[in-house]
Amino acid sequence: MTGKQAYDVVIIGGGPAGLTAGIYTARARLRSLLIEKAAPGGWIVNAGVVENYPGFPQGISGMELADLMNEQAAKFGMETLTAEVTGLELKGEQKLVRTTEGDIVAKAVIIAGGSDRAKLGVPGEEEFMGRGVAFCAVCDAYFYRDLPVVVVGGGNAAINEALELSKFASKVTVIHRRQELRATRILQERAFAEPKIEFLWNTVVEAIEGGDVVERLRLRNVLSGEKSTLDISGIFVATGTKPNTDYLKGVLPLDASGAITTNEKMETEVSGIFAAGDIRSNSIRQVAAAIGDGAVAAIYAEKFITS
């Protein structure tokens, strides 16, 4: 892209929140650009089947749901740019969006960049990334056919990962730092009923070790302090998320977790800048919530531009 392209609305992030915002702003005949650094769809493309999104009583694959949302936004004229947003300058009336493909100006910006998986931060995690350390079972479970794997975490994401892995792996050990899961009851019931899934409670991973690929974990029981090792072929990390707001530090107020604070109109503290979806403070990190946020942000962005 050369020169500065001008849009009514720039939407950062092509997950459910951004795509919904795009459907609304493009349909409102605002010149709308969605900037996405990867393929459109966001995190939901990693979900096997989405069962709790209304309108699909039999469930729908995350990939198909994402494709349908993208198709719908494009139908109304939303443009898409494949690029990473690296900075925002918000001083003037026109907002300047810096991207890896050049600068863009817009009257309003909707930030819908979601969040990434948090890392464990233990020795071996970076070294073995892609060689036994993974963050997405739907993407990588197939590589662990008949091999023992570990999932770290106790929430919905961790249990979803464990259930997906149980279709391929010989054994799935869920390692959780507490005595109880945080995942919803229905997921817990499925995991407890799956014979391939075992649980190691009150335990943390201290190091990931191996040769060319991951071979074992060093573990510590947080109650007794007892240390142990566990031979495994893969470790899937699902311990939480980190909002994608690194480029917004010092630009917008962020909460302690790095998420963007908004009011109920999805307005940030900077006029004309909105946020939607998992990137928002206290988001419940569900598709239904993300699309609701996207719709609200788009409607108030339109009001901002036309008033």
Residues classed as catalytic: 136, 139-140
Among 43, 144, 168, 274, contact with ligand FAD (rule: CB under 6 A): 43
Cα–Cα distances (Å) from 33 to 30, 88, 92, 194, 258, in that order, read 9, 15, 19, 45, 25
**Which residues, numbered 174-213, are part of the site for ligand FAD (CB under 6 A)?**
none
Q: Is 47 in the site for ligand FAD (CB under 6 A)?
A: yes
- Report the relative pairing of strands 227-231 and 214-221 from DSSP bridges: antiparallel
Q: Rounded to an integer, what is the distance from CA 260 to the centroid of its chain?
A: 15
**Least distance CB 231 / ligand FAD (angstroms):** 26
**Least distance CB 238 / ligand FAD (angstroms):** 8
**Which residues, numbered 67-106, are part of the site for ligand FAD (CB under 6 A)?**
84-85
The amino acid present at 176, given as its one-letter code, is H
Region label for 282, one of left (φ > 0), alpha (ψ between -120 and 50) or beta (otherwise): left
Q: Is 277 in the site for ligand FAD (CB under 6 A)?
A: yes
Q: Is 37 in the site for ligand FAD (CB under 6 A)?
A: yes
**Which residues, numbered 146-165, are part of the site for ligand FAD (CB under 6 A)?**
157, 160
Among candidates 162, 233, 160, which has minimal Cα distance to 200? 162
- Report the relative pairing of strands 234-237 and 85-89 from DSSP bridges: unpaired
Q: In whole angstroms, how large is the CA radius of gyration of the chain? A: 21
For ligand FAD, the closer CB: 104 or 122:
104
Q: Is 14 in the site for ligand FAD (CB under 6 A)?
A: yes
For ligand FAD, the closer CB: 14 or 234:
14
**Which residues, numbered 118-147, are part of the site for ligand FAD (CB under 6 A)?**
none
CA distance 155 to 135: 14
Q: Count interface residues toward ligand FAD (CB under 6 A).
A: 36
For tokens 């142990």, the residue is 228
**Which residues, numbered 210-229, are part of the site for ligand FAD (CB under 6 A)?**
none
The amino acid present at 42, given as its one-letter code, is G
**Angle, in degrees to the nearest 10, between helices 62-75 and 16-27:** 20
For ligand FAD, the closer CB: 160 or 239:
160
CB 220 within 8 A of CB 226: yes
How many other C-beta atoms can be found within 10 angstroms of the C-beta atom of residue 122? 18
**Least distance CB 114 / ligand FAD (angstroms):** 2
CB 41 within 8 A of CB 70: yes
Q: Is 252 in the site for ligand FAD (CB under 6 A)?
A: no
Tokens of 292: 């609701």
Among 52, 184, 229, 263, contact with ligand FAD (rule: CB under 6 A): 52
For ligand FAD, the closer CB: 59 or 123:
59
| Cα dihedral value 80, 47, 61, 163, nearest 10 | 170
**Least distance CB 279 / ligand FAD (angstroms):** 6
Among 114, 124, 132, 153, contact with ligand FAD (rule: CB under 6 A): 114
For ligand FAD, the closer CB: 281 or 286:
286
**Least distance CB 35 / ligand FAD (angstroms):** 5
Cα–Cα distances (Å) from 167 to 19, 92, 164, 258, in that order, read 31, 53, 6, 35
Among 88, 134, 159, 290, contact with ligand FAD (rule: CB under 6 A): 290
Enumerate binding residues for ligand FAD (CB under 6 A): 12-18, 35-38, 42-44, 46-47, 50, 52-53, 84-85, 112-115, 157, 160, 244, 277-279, 285-288, 290
